[in-house]
Amino acid sequence: MSDPEPAWRAPSPRLLTMRRVQVGVCGVGVAVALFALLVSATVTGAVVAAAAALVAVLVAQIFVARRVRAWGYAEREDDLFVKRGVLFSRLSVIPYGRMQFVDITAGPVERLFGLATVRMHTAAAASDARIPGLESGEAARVRDRLTELGEAQAAGL
Amino acid sequence: MSEQYGWRRLHPLSPVVRAGRATIAIFIVLVPTLLSGGRNLSSDYFQLGAVAVLAGLGFVSWLVTRWRIDGDDLRIETGVLRRQSLRFPLAQVQAIDIVRPGLARMFRVAELRLRMGGASGGTARLAYLNEHEVEPLRAQLLALAHGGEEAEARAVEAPERLLVQVPTPRLIASILVSDVGMLAELVLVGLAIGAVLAPGAARGIVSGGAAELVAVATLVWRRFNQEYRFSLAQTDDGLRLHGGLVALNTETIRPGRVQAVRMVEPFLWRRLGWCRIEVDLAGRQRRKGELLEHVVPGAPQPVLGAPRRVLFKSPLRFRYLAWGRSDTVVVTQTGRIRRVTVWVPLQKVQSLRRVEGPVQRALSLATVHLDTAGRALHAALRDRDRGEADEALGDLVRLARAARRAPT
């Protein structure tokens, strides 16, 4: 790349915790449900199924960590870089001048962990850049900075 | 000046024309009933009553709809129960169309459509206006869109310079070898063979598949009807597209509003040197099928082919995959059977994306997407060598930035 390698920033480490907990809770739920369903038929079968579900949760944790680690964003002079994805790795470049609006969303689970997602919208429907798992303060900072830069460099359609 | 910009109503016959086919259907239903001379009075009254109610509703909708030019906005007010007041800022107009369906031509009225940009991408419709006031109005709106101070001077129609006209024989030939045309021919040939070999079965197919036959015929007819005597002209207001047999269409695309241009060359057309050019605007998707000779806008050619190993990933696409660029325009080419070439002005690029899927990773390939505000077209440097993709992404980001800053 002709520009110097940008300084990548990562989402909050709490994002990993959140994703781990989300996957863990789902997996344990499945394990309990399997056990409850099968226990009346075969006790061994129920134990094996529940154990398999728990092992799957542990394996999934590895992939969760890789996926979370793949997220990154870099604020450059004229544009924002966002990278994501392990299997399909994507790198989006959004010029500040093209941003129509920026919004912050925080779902109930995210709020529990004090996190928020920043979304950038351009006039193109295909550019769907977002940065998940930012701490609330950082999310507000990113939003304000993007809005400010967007106003300064705004370009028409 | 000010009285000219006051509230105005649409043409009184608008509801009739807008009801279009329904009007024709009503006549078909009504005429025999009236002619047969009231055998069944109650049902006659019922039908007449229904028509009267519809006519009344149409009249009311006409009565409550009014429009005016208010400074830099076009304002339309309509609706009884749900009163709507719409404002369309003229500076955001991407294109203005004049549409004249068959019925509208009979009553000498025309519809004016303003296609707007912006995220919602709405369309302002003035349906219908008197035929002779439509063209001056379009000129006036375009002039206002360019900037108020020019409005007075530019109220006259700009002169046209004809660029291309599609002769009717070529239109017919191109439809005959197009996908829809081939389908229709296959059906016809099938029926002919069937009629010779097994007349009874063929009759069964015709009566059973009547809806499908009508659908195919409609497709062919619609294409012919829309593209009959198509012509493209250059004016000071932008590009002007004319065409139509029964329904006449005139589109005016403002200069600098084109987000992307796509050239489609179906397999057989390419042999004959024909293609279809589609222009994409910001706002509502509306693709316009155009037959042009091999006309390529002054833009780069797709010269950089894909690496050989792409054969493993996209064997059908491989031979068409290519891209090229100048300092202001990017061109990409793809397609399996038909060849599709897309030009995107770098000035219009909204965002760029580099995507690498698992198969691509194994072959060390990557795709770079260019997103524009248009809805229909998409440019992607598909399956490039990873190093080339990175370099292209860097270059394009830089060039797009320069293009954005350059004065338009």
Average pLDDT estimate for B98-125: 80
Position A122 pLDDT exceeds 70: yes
Within-domain flag for B232: no
**Residue B158: Cβ-neighbour burial (10 angstroms; 0-12, 13-18, 19+):** middle
Q: How far apart are CA B78 and CA B90, in angstroms?
A: 19
Task: Judge if A50 and A81 occupy the same domain.
Answer: no
pTM (2 decimals)? Answer: 0.75
Backbone angles phi, psi at B243, to 5 degrees: 170, 165
Residues B398, B352 contacting (CB under 8 angstroms): no
Percentage with pLDDT > 70 across chain B: 83
B60's enclosing H/E stretch is: helix B41-64
Contacts B361 to A, Cβ<8 Å: 89
Q: How far is A73 from chain B (nearest CA, A)?
A: 13
Q: What is the CATH number of the domain that holds A148?
A: 2.30.29
Query: Is A88 within 8 Å of B356 when comparing Cβ atoms?
Result: yes
Can you give the pLDDT at residue B296? 41
Residues B135, B261 share a domain: no
Using a CB-CB distance cutoff of 8 angstroms, which residues of chain A are in contact with residue B352? 92-93
In this structure, the answer to whether residues B186 and B77 fall within a common structural domain is no
Helix (H, G, I), strand (E, B) or coil at B305: strand
Asked if residue B126 and residue B105 are part of one domain, the reply reads yes
In a domain, B376, yes or no: yes
- Residue B69: the pLDDT is 85
* Residue found by looking up tokens 């709106």 in the block: B141
Same domain, B136 and B175: no
Residues of A in contact with B350 (CB under 8 A): 94-95, 98, 122-124, 127
Would you say residue B118 lies in a domain?
A: yes
Give B-chain residues touching A88 at CB under 8 angstroms.
Answer: 355-358
User: B6-23: buried (b, 16+ CB within 10 Å) or exposed (e) per residue?
Assistant: eeeebbebbbbbbbeeeb
Q: Are residues A57 and A97 in the same domain?
A: no
A31 to chain B, minimum CA–CA distance in Å? Answer: 31
User: Considering its fold, how many domains does chain B have in total?
Assistant: 3
Of A78, A88, A92, the CB nearest to B351: A92
| Residue A94 and residue A143 in one domain | yes
What's the confidence (pLDDT) of residue B283? 45
Q: What is the pLDDT of residues B39-95, one digit of tens each?
A: 566 666 777 788 788 888 888 888 888 888 887 888 888 887 778 888 888 888 888
Q: Looking at the domain assignment, is residue B202 inside a domain?
A: yes
Domain ranges, residue A81: 72-153
Q: A124–B357: do the CB atoms touch at under 8 Å?
A: no
Residues of B in contact with A91 (CB under 8 A): 353-355, 393
Whether B48 is in a domain gets the answer yes
- Residue B33 banded pLDDT, cuts 50, 70, 90: low
- Structural element, H or E, at residue B396: helix B386-405
Overall domain count for chain A: 2
The tokens for B360 are: 């691509």
Residue A81, min C-alpha distance to chain B (Å): 9
Using a CB-CB cut-off of 8 Å, the residues of chain A touching B345 are none
Q: Do A89 and B372 touch (CB under 8 A)?
A: no
Do A105 and A126 lie in one domain? The reply is yes
Interface membership of A103 toward B (CB under 8 Å): no
A3:B351 CB<8 A: no
In chain A, which residues have their Cβ closer than 8 Å to the Cβ of B395?
A: 2
Interchain CB contact of A3 with B (< 8 Å): yes
Q: Minimum mean pLDDT among A40-44, A115-119, B109-113, B285-289: which range?
A: B285-289
**Co-location of A134 and A80 in the same domain:** yes
Whether pLDDT at A129 is above 80: yes
Residue-wise pLDDT tens digits, B223-261: 888 778 877 777 777 778 888 888 888 888 777 777 777
* B233 falls within a domain: no
Angstrom distance (rounded) from CA B402 to CA A146: 20
Reported as a pLDDT band with limits 50, 70 and 90, residue B284 is very low
Distance from C-alpha of B194 to C-alpha of B206, rounded to nearest angstrom: 10
Residue B123 structural domain? 3-158
Q: For an interface test with A, which of B351, B355, B395, B396 has the most A Cβ atoms less than 10 Å from its Cβ?
A: B351
Q: Mark yes or no for CB contact A126/B369 under 8 Å.
A: yes
The encoded tokens of residue B378 equal 């998409």
Q: What is the pLDDT of residue B158?
A: 60
What is the distance in angstroms between the Cα of B402 and the nearest Cα belonging to chain A? 11
The reply to whether A1 touches chain B by the CB within 8 Å rule is yes
Q: Are residues B293 and B391 in the same domain?
A: yes
Give the mean model confidence (pLDDT) for residues B115-119: 69
Residues B183 and B264 both lie in one domain: no
Residues of B in contact with A98 (CB under 8 A): 350-351
Same domain, B301 and B211: no
For B365, counting Cβ atoms within 10 Å of its Cβ (0-12 exposed, 13-18 middle, 19+ buried), the class is buried
Residues B148 and B7 in one domain: yes
Q: Contact A91/B398, CB-based, under 8 Å?
A: no
